[in-house]
Structure 1
């Protein structure tokens, strides 16, 4: 259905182009003053995805599907380029060519995984080769559970060490999501026998509970950071960034559950 294709494509681009834009800013903030070439590259990608985000909001559900298909090609190419930039940066860090810079290797890898996910989503939409829902449930959860586990680790390491209670809470979430990720990978290796309705429904229910708890923790941390009530080196935009990704994961879980229970699966546009 052309309208569904347009809605889903624009939703992906509006959400993830903003994420890519913000990644460019966060990476730039972690560079040293002398890393002018990397700073310039980050600025380039910030402006590139800012422009993509603006154009995506200018389209509507009534936009011609072929126009959106061409836009998807353009954006997936941009996602490929920022992925390559992030992998280059990861290589520089791991070979100790950026001593004193402040981007964790795991954070750079994390952002590259999201760029790859974004690119693949657009390619799948254009080719009309979306996975069967049983496969998508496991694959999307494996991807997002790792993203959530990473977020907890980043929060723990960017809080001031004196914020002992919050650091412990973040570490607890890291452990919780590591365990959920191991369970998801176990389901993955048991495919297709593991893909029964009851097992997948329980899988989604269990993940939802933990994602909601983490989402609420991120929201509380964001509010405390905005009010300057806690000690950290977390950029306020980063706090909002990880909160929005938890909200995204919850929306995907809800969509999958609606599909499993036979309710109409409506991929509604989110606030970006």
Structure 2
């Protein structure tokens, strides 16, 4: 199996499951009165499920055409998310998701489109600089921790405090990443402060992954009170794992 096909399988397997999850979250969050949008979300769930089931059969002959097909589906899904966001901002749709949550789902989708732009050309996606990943995933992680805090029952004081601390730390890291990105204009792509930052983020993200696994296990055994779900915890864990893997690749390249 070629290097390109291996990368294509890995990226599609990760991202198509994320897209399917997003469609499921939207489907489950829409008010019952939003019948047309529920139907559209359901259609995307099935589309991404079918595409995901095809990934193991990718080879040198079909990986590019598959990526082109996926790209079309992802663009349609992006337009659906933006449609939902527009209606949220206008206040004329019933959905149990915040505009920021939907906006972050668009950010993630656009990173998949970035990856697809290479796969469509039969190219292995390049290893992007660490700060590229920090800017995408730190804001996302802060949002994840915020969702956990808001979805936990008020009596879960310790867990709420822990999730709130993660949210604050990731937000602080994100602001630092914005500044560090500005430093790249010096054409210095590696420097001691960035190395320390990478280590700090990796440590915090590893702790957060452990926290997510604990929450998932507690949710599955009904030991935690709140509306936060085990599938949501698993979804977040997979994203943080992808982030850490991409960081490791970037450091190796540097």
TM-score range, shorter chain: over 0.9
Deviation, structure 1 residue 44: 0.3
Residues 171 and 208 (structure 1 numbering): CA distance in 2 closer, same or farther, change over 3 Å?
A: same
Q: Take 1:27 and 1:172, find their aligned partners in 2: how far apart are those partners?
A: 27
In structure 1, the partner of 2:130 is: 137
In structure 1, list runs of 5 or more residues that go unmatched.
261-272
- Among candidates 138, 143, 147, match of residue 154 of structure 1: 147
Q: Is the 8 A contact 2:24 2:45 kept in 1?
A: yes
SS in 2 for 1:154: helix
Q: Which 10-residue stretch deviates more, 135-144 or 216-225?
A: 135-144
Deviation, structure 1 residue 165: 1.3
Q: Take 1:120 and 1:173, find their aligned partners in 2: how far apart are those partners?
A: 28
Over the aligned positions, Cα root-mean-square deviation in angstroms equals 1.7
Q: Take 1:124 and 1:167, find their aligned partners in 2: how far apart are those partners?
A: 41
Q: Is the 8 A contact 2:4 2:124 kept in 1?
A: no
Q: Is the 8 A contact 2:180 2:194 kept in 1?
A: no
**1:46 equivalenced with 2:39 (yes/no):** no
Q: Take 2:208 and 2:251, find their aligned partners in 1: how far apart are those partners?
A: 20
SS in 2 for 1:231: coil
In structure 2, the partner of 1:269 is: none
Q: Is the 8 A contact 1:24 1:43 kept in 2?
A: yes
Flag as ranges the 4+ runs of structure 1 deviating above 6 A: none
TM-score (norm: length of structure 1): 0.87
In structure 2, list runs of 5 or more residues that go unmatched.
none
In structure 1, the partner of 2:13 is: 14
SS in 1 for 2:161: helix
Q: Is the 8 A contact 1:25 1:42 kept in 2?
A: yes
In structure 1, the partner of 2:57 is: 58
Q: Take 2:181 and 2:21, find their aligned partners in 1: how far apart are those partners?
A: 31
Q: Take 1:203 and 1:5, find their aligned partners in 2: how far apart are those partners?
A: 31
What does residue range 53-202 of structure 1 map to in structure 2 within 5 Å? 53-59=52-58, 63-64=59-60, 66-99=61-94, 101-127=95-121, 128=123, 130=125, 133=127, 136-193=129-186, 194-202=188-196
- Among candidates 209, 221, 239, match of residue 245 of structure 1: 239
- Residue correspondences, number: 252
Q: Take 2:71 and 2:113, find their aligned partners in 1: how far apart are those partners?
A: 5
Residues 32 and 207 (structure 1 numbering): CA distance in 2 closer, same or farther, change over 3 Å?
A: same
Q: Is the 8 A contact 1:25 1:46 kept in 2?
A: yes
